[in-house]
Structure 1
Amino acid sequence: MSLLSLREVTRTVIPPDQPALTILSGVDLTIDAGDHVSIVGRSGSGKSTLLNMLGLLDLPTSGEITFDDRPVKTYSAAKRDRLRGAAIGFVFQQFNLLPGRTALENVTMPLLYSTGRTFWRRRRIAAEMLELVGLGHRLSSLPDRLSGGEQQRVAIARSLVRGPRLILADEPTGALDLDTGQSVMDLIDDVATRTGAAQVTITHDPMIARRARRHFRLERGVLTPVDDPSLEPLTRRNRRETAPDAEANGAAATDDALADLGFADLSTPATTSAPSDRTVD
């Protein structure tokens, strides 16, 4: 049973006083539990529209989207919203943090819609998630007191705090420098592996795309699989060799954060000593 499936999905809009514009055309894509997919496309190729389809934000003009093999069109708007909140986590290029709220309060926000024990333990769950991403010492910090990398880690913690089954990352490193971006992607990959979540990364960066196991190209609304040896998944060793200092430091910081929470099985032997400050700036 697939987690999410798009079959012959088309999205057409009709601008005022203009002919109909087809943004997506006959898109077929199946995402299984634990899958890791990258979608590469230029600006204007339909990436944002496709993300809205994958995130159940919009319905197609034609074709079918299913979640757990059930057609999404059979859900009411309210039920679709609840499904999205419980099962899908979004990581955006812009961090979208609430400026007047601490890191802990930002990560707690999605849990306000939970029920039962999860609702009453929401602050503890949020604090544990921030610890996982290496920000256990920054719980009370406001966004404007955090670096760009730290803000993205808060955004990642917020997207994962409800244990989503599908992570949608939209240009997740676009607002970060190379060093920080690579360590942030390591973190997303490791947490997704640990939780068994499927991951879809939409990007224009081939280096980020290579991290996935399956690759697609979106061009003029048409999605096609890419069978290109240059896009074979990068191992952590590959990434360290590509950018030695950035990857070694990023991998060490990620491994330390995971090991501290008892996730030592996700850690890899470090080739360099870990930095004294595990927070990526």
Structure 2
Amino acid sequence: MTRGSAPIVAARGVGRSVVLPEGDTLTILDGIDLDVYDGDRVSVVGRSGSGKSTLLNLLGLIDTPSAGDLRFLGEDVRTMRGGRRDRLRGEEVGFVFQQFNLLPGRTALENVQTPMLYAPGRSFWRRERIAREMLERVGLGERLATMPERLSGGEQQRVAIARALVRRPRLILADEPTGALDLQTGATVMHLIEEVARETDAALVTITHDPTIAARSSRHLRLDAGRLVDKIEVPA
């Protein structure tokens, strides 16, 4: 896809609700309006249960909205076939989670190669070299053959970052990426994510409880009772 002035993700009046076992409807998100462009740095804060992770799942094509209009690179997500959503998510979206979700029994190098098993052509055949270079990029060139359980928390998060960014996604979605890390390691992790995003002009949307992490973004949003509020104040 060619990068340009159109948004990567455009949401208008987007809602997400689920039907509970007793038959009641629970509204998680309501009336969400949001555009995310190439190079954007967006932070979203909110209380637990406010719908932050649900919003990230919608932006990342994991879930589809119950209401409203959501477009990814100009395509209507609600009418998009599942296979198309999966391909776009694999090619254009990188997820960084608080829980590292590394594959047990696989080395750091094998974990980072995983997203490239479905890459087209040359990228597929060069996947080991590309994964190796990305691990070196995040300072783990000496830990390629190490299993996740032998890595520290900060090292596991770096592997997770390398795996999320190895295909140079256009949209990076980070869900509490520093929540399981100490302050210094968390700052290092955010610097790494931002640096790689800057190299490719990728958009970065970060879900966080930490005001110092939120302050690193240029746009600051808050989710309150399923609604998105713009221009919150964050500490300098």
Aligned residues: 231
Q: Does 1:90 align with 2:95?
A: yes
Q: Does 1:146 align with 2:147?
A: no
Q: Deviations over 1:73-117 (max 9, x none)?
A: 232101100100000000000011112011000000110011211
Percent identity between the two aligned chains? 63
CA distance in 2, matches of 1:227, 1:49: 20
SS at match of 1:80: helix
Q: Does 1:21 align with 2:26?
A: yes
Relative to its length, the structure with more helix (as a share) is 1
Tell me the TM-score normalised to structure 1 length. Answer: 0.80
Instruction: List aligned pairs for 1:220-235, cutoff 5 A.
Output: 220-228=225-233, 230-231=234-235
Tell me which of the two structures has the higher relative contact order, counting C-alpha pairs closer than 8 angstroms and 6 or more residues apart.
2
Tell me the TM-score normalised to structure 2 length. Answer: 0.95
Quote the residue 1:63 is aligned against.
Answer: 68
Where do 4+ consecutive residues of structure 1 move more than 3 Å? none
Contact persistence 1:215–1:231 (CA under 8 A):
no
CA distance in 2, matches of 1:44, 1:27: 16
Unpaired runs of 5+ residues, structure 2, are: 1-5
SS at match of 2:103: coil
Query: Which amino acid is the alignment partner of residue 214 of structure 1?
Result: R
Q: Deviations over 1:205-246 (max 9, x none)?
A: 111100000000001101010242x345xxxxxxxxxxxxxx
Quote the residue 2:10 is aligned against.
Answer: 5
Q: Give the one of 81, 85, 97 matched to 1:80.
A: 85
Q: Give the one of 198, 201, 205 matched to 2:206.
A: 201
Quote the residue 2:180 is aligned against.
Answer: 175
Larger radius of gyration: 1
Q: Does 1:218 align with 2:215?
A: no
CA distance in 2, matches of 1:73, 1:23: 17
Relative to its length, the structure with more strand (as a share) is 2
RMSD (CA atoms): 1.0
CA distance in 2, matches of 1:9, 1:139: 42
